[in-house]
Amino acid sequence: MDLSGKKVVVTGGAGFLGSFVVDRLKKRGCRDIFSPRSAEYNLVDRDACKRLYKDARPDIVIHLAAKVGGIGANRENPGSFFYENLMMGVQLIEEGRLHGLEKFVALGTICAYPKFTPVPFKEENLWDGYPEETNAPYGLAKKMLLVQSQAYRQQYGFNSIYLLPVNLYGPKDNFDPASSHVIPALIKKCLDAIKEKAPLITVWGTGKATREFLYVDDAAEGIVLATERYEKGDPINLGAGFEIAIKDLVVLIARLTGFKGEIIWDSTKPDGQPRRCLDTAKAQNEFGFKAKTGFEEGLKSTIDWYRTVNRL
């Protein structure tokens, strides 16, 4: 699919991942891109979804808008995370069908996988158990978009694809301690401790859990490649194909930020899912996606961006 002549709506296009996806679309020659802002289009509301399609008249919708956060935010907001993510996606897909949309790109989440998925996570393992409890409402809300996408493809011939990205990180990430994910939270902790000359930082959990991380610009390239080249109903993982223990991640971020103090582990706080690492073979086979940014390189870029923005 040549995107250069298409009208593309990118929900969440002004956000962390969305801004990189918009940049990638522009590099493909796409000039008619609309990123609805939540103040004008509250996509939880069906009428706002209808108005979006009427105003933008898109050929393609890339749905990135989501209510997201780390373990703490998920524990505190399970109801709103479930409802808002479900309603946004379900209504955008239904209105897209009624609009005669050429293609809908739905973004799922690694939180949709069962708590004890064999590593590396393969797409066919997606329905083998219940998600990790702290993330389950969010993960299941996003998982329903896969059910809807496949059902609509079967009944209506609706061209909807579903991508499962691993944890993202990079410049422009959310560094708010109340809702940030692990990498920005750790970067902020370390740099705050250096600034305040604090002797230690406290980190949630035991450090034994593992995670995989995908640099945001790589994720954006994967999403745009799938939009151009992937036309099937099967879900596809987007990842970098490695895992790192949180304990090792903390040591790495401390080194890269220059924090030399003590690291205290608060084991009364949850670790989340025990392990996370994706099998990324399908993305490479189906539409030629392979992550290019080395992990340490990506972390340095993220730290440098945060330092620049905060004049540290």
Choosing from 138, 152, 215, 230, the catalytic residue is 138
Using 70 as the pLDDT threshold, list the residues of the chain that sit under it.
none
Is 130 among the residues known to form the active site?
no
pLDDT score for 58? 98
pLDDT tens column, 244-289: 999 999 999 999 999 999 999 999 998 988 999 999 999 999 999 9
User: Could you tell me the domains of the chain?
Assistant: 7-172+213-241+276-293 (3.40.50.720)
Give the pLDDT of residue 207.
Answer: 96
Burial class (CB in 10 A: 0-12, 13-18, 19+), 58: buried
145-172 pLDDT tens trace: 999 999 999 999 999 999 999 999 999 9
Looking at residue 250, its pLDDT comes to: 97
